[in-house]
Amino acid sequence: MANLALVLVVFYLLPFFVPVLSSDFDPLLDVEQNYDRNITTTINPNCPQNECVNFTLIHVQQQGRTDVLHHLWTMENIPTFFYARTEINTELIIDWHKMLSGNNSQAISFSKEPQYFAAVLILKFFMYNDLNDTGIIPKMNSYDTVSFSTKKMFWELKSSNYSGNRSASVAFRLTNYDGVELDSSSNIEITLTAYGTRGRSPILPHLAFTENSTQIDFIFDRLETKESFTNARLAIELATVVSEPNSRFTLNVSQSLDDEYTPGVFKLMEVHSALNQHWIQWRPVCYTSTKRDIGDSTGMYQTGIRNVTDDDVFENSLLQWLLLDIDMPSLSMNGFNVSFGVEGDGFYKASNYTAWTMVTGHGSPIGDQFSVMVILVMAIGLGLPAVVLILGGVAIALRNHRNSKDDLLLSD
């Protein structure tokens, strides 16, 4: 009976501990160690000295064992975050004479044709008057909505951090819109971070990143809202394009039983391409203070996926600067809007601050999974009662067996 009890205990608890004992995971970080990439970063690579003062193009290389991911980030004309997967020893080639002379069409190429590429673009920012306190963006032609094209925006490189070979981060700040300087007390900031390994962001909502992804953080701080918009909220229009022919993107919403990484948020939003090779992921939560605490957060909404048919998106953008075998305008571009805030949260004016994070990348994203700590808690919480029940059953069985023997002796 004792051996049977031990077998039952091991059988019951083994599923909880198998993930913990896996050699593919760091027990502290849940990081798969065998997919690391080395990162190198350059700003305006090989641009003649002093000629790129008013131009910023970030090139981040994620060097793997069999391929390289080339990231190109720029805020010029339309903020575009592009990546291409290439063979080892593929070089980025930029004709800076064409780039800086204004004739920049097809001025950027690769020494070997990319195996895959994709891009995320920021097309517009919105301010809208949420009269009914629903959080939903009104129709674009409504008097209660004002749009700001990113083509009219000018950004400065605020900071950069790429001293190591495991991550690279740059931050851009909006300085001018349509010739008008942004008030010094106001701030719109976008930070991009690429990692060479797998893990989770140190800031809420602690999104998971991979060695093939880019994290994008948005901050809207002390913005001046339209005077007639008493219930002002903010929103963004995003677009994405991939080298997959006629690719149609899909929006998935997954539910989780665990909110360990993002307290109070059980949903994970994901937009992915038809072949599941490109994705955008976020939690439906934004933060209303720099602390990024659960008490300083609110929800958000997103629209469905739609086709972007505006040909001006390609005009004088990074996508037009690239020389690739595929004709860029022939590719299907999909877009969607995200709006910040939900009913009853007091609108943007309640805090005058909104921060939101998303991750985009190549291959497969990291789905929701229980951490080592949660697995241990589950194993202890569920395992101990099982052990007590089993041992209790064994004790009762042994006592009954002993009593039955005594009864037999007395009867003899």
DSSP annotation of 365: P
With contact defined as beta carbons under 8 Å apart, do 265 and 256 qualify? no
Q: What is the DSSP letter of 309?
A: -
Separation between Cα atoms, residue 60 and residue 214, nearest integer Å: 10
Answer with the residue of higher pLDDT: 403 or 172. 172
Mean pLDDT calculated for residue range 33-59: 89
pLDDT digits (tens, 9 = 90+) for 167-212: 999 999 999 999 999 998 999 999 999 999 999 999 999 999 999 9
How confident is the model over 313-358, as pLDDT tens digits? 888 899 999 999 998 888 999 999 999 999 999 999 999 999 999 9
Residue 383: pLDDT over 80:
no
Q: Is the pLDDT of residue 261 over 60?
A: yes
Helix (H) or strand (E) holding 375: helix 372-411
pLDDT confidence bin for 164, thresholds 50/70/90: confident
* CB 362 within 8 Å of CB 83: yes
With a pLDDT cut of 70, the percent of the chain lying above it is 82
The helix (run of H) or strand (run of E) holding residue 393 is helix 372-411
Confidence of residue 34 (pLDDT cuts 50, 70, 90): very low
How many CA atoms lie less than 13 Å away from 213 in the CB half-sphere? 26
- Does residue 373 carry a pLDDT above 50? no
- Calculate Rg over the CA atoms of the chain: 27
What whole-number percentage of the chain has pLDDT above 90?
67
Domain locations in the chain?
Answer: 1-30+372-408, 38-362
The residue among 83 and 311 whose pLDDT is bigger is: 83
Query: Between these two residues, 3 and 233, which has the higher pLDDT value?
Result: 233
If you average pLDDT over residues 129-143, what whole number do you get? 87
Q: Residue 111 has which token pair?
A: 């020494």
Which helix (DSSP H) or strand (DSSP E) does residue 177 occupy? strand 167-177
Q: Which residue's entry shows tokens 């998971």?
A: 208
Alpha-helical (H) ranges within 163-317 are none
Q: What is the rounded CA–CA span in Å between residue 221 and residue 122? A: 18
pLDDT at 10 over 50: no
User: How far is residue 267's CA from residue 290's CA, in Å, rounded to a whole number?
Assistant: 22
Q: With respect to CATH, is domain 38-362 assigned 2.70.98?
A: yes
- Is residue 410 pLDDT above 70, yes or no? no
Sign, Cα dihedral of 174, 175, 178, 181: positive
Long-range pairs for 327-330: beta carbons < 8 A, 24 or more residues apart = 328/241
Could you give the CA distance from residue 59 to residue 74 in angstroms, rounded to a whole number?
A: 9
Task: Fill in the DSSP letter of residue 372.
Answer: H
Q: What is the mean pLDDT of residues 72-88?
A: 97
Each residue of 103-126: pLDDT tens digit?
899 999 999 999 999 999 999 999
Q: How many angstroms separate the Cα of 192 from the Cα of each of 108, 208, 333, 352? A: 21, 15, 22, 23
